[in-house]
Amino acid sequence: MNKARGYGLSAELERKKEAKYNSDEEADAIAWVEAVLGRDVFGGKSGPDNVYACLADGRVLCELANALRTADPNHSCGGEVKANTMNQPFKKMENIGKYLKFCEEQLGVPKGDQFQTVDLYEKQNMANVICQIHAVGRRAGAKGLQVPCLGPKEADANKREFTDEQLKEGQNIIGLQMGSNKGASQAGDHFGRPRQIAGDKAYS
C-alpha cells in the first residue's frame, strides 16, 4: 500500500516517520524473526516497503506468536494463535490484532511498546513495527523462551524489603534534612502589598 506523500504538514510528518526508521534495527529484527521461524521470510530484501509487504496481512506475525508459544519451556503462553488466510482487509487486520494481543497478554509486552494495527496495515509507522519486534525479543529473553536473543537483556526487577525500624529511621533523616521553620515570620515581607502613603512620602 503506497500512500501519496501529500504536501505541507502531512509531508513533514511523513519525513519525520522515515527519519525515525533505523535500518540497523530493521536488520536485527528481520534476522531475529527468521531465526525464530527457521525460514527465509523477507527474501533477503530490506527497507520499510519490503517489511510491510511481508507482514501486512498478519500471517507471519501469527506464525511468530505460535513459534514463541512453543518455545516456552513453562508452557505459559496460552493456546494457538490461528491466522485467517482470507484476503479481506478486516481479516488481515484481525491477524495483526491477534498477534498484538498475544504479545501483551502472554508475553507481557508493555502497551507503550506496542504498535497500532494501522501503523502496519496502512503503513503509517513502520518504525513502530520494528521497535515492537525488538520489545518482543527482549520479553522473550526475559521469560526464558528458547529463542535467539534480540538486543540487550531486560533488567530484572530489584524489589527491596524494609523493616518498620528502617522506615522510621528514614523518616527521621528526612525530617532533619527539611530543617526547621521555628521563629520564622513574614515580618518585613511586603511582596505584592500595595504602596503605603504617609504624608508626602511613599513607602513600598
79: confidence class by pLDDT, cuts 50, 70, 90:
very high
Q: What is d(CA 72, CA 66) in angstroms, rounded to the nearest whole number?
A: 10
Q: What average pLDDT does the structure give for the chain?
A: 82
CA 166 to chain centre: 36
Q: Which amino acid is at 117?
A: T
14: confidence class by pLDDT, cuts 50, 70, 90:
low
Q: How many CA atoms lie within 13 A of 143 on its CB side?
A: 25
For residue 144, pLDDT over 60 is answered with yes
CB-count exposure of residue 25 (10 Å: 0-12, 13-18, 19+): middle
Average pLDDT over residues 43-54: 97
Three-state DSSP class for residue 196: strand
For residue 199, pLDDT over 80 is answered with no
CA 183 to chain centre: 51
The DSSP 8-state label assigned to residue 38 in this structure reads T
Average pLDDT over residues 142-165: 74
User: Which pLDDT does position 151 carry in this prediction?
Assistant: 76
- Who contacts 135 (Cβ-Cβ below 8 Å, separation ≥6)? 103, 109, 110, 113, 114
User: Which pLDDT does position 138 carry in this prediction?
Assistant: 96
For residue 71, pLDDT over 80 is answered with yes
190: confidence class by pLDDT, cuts 50, 70, 90:
very low
- Of 10-14, 28-32, 191-195, where does mean pLDDT reach its minimum? 191-195
Three-state DSSP class for residue 41: coil
Q: What are 102-116's pLDDT values in tens digits?
A: 999 999 999 999 999
Residue recorded with cell 506496542:
114
Most confident of 64-68, 150-154, 176-180: 64-68
- Who contacts 111 (Cβ-Cβ below 8 Å, separation ≥6)? 104
User: Which pLDDT does position 167 carry in this prediction?
Assistant: 65
Sign of CA dihedral 110, 121, 129, 53: positive
- Of 48-52, 73-77, 144-148, 168-172, where does mean pLDDT reach its minimum? 168-172
Of 118, 142, 125, the closest CA to residue 13 belongs to 125
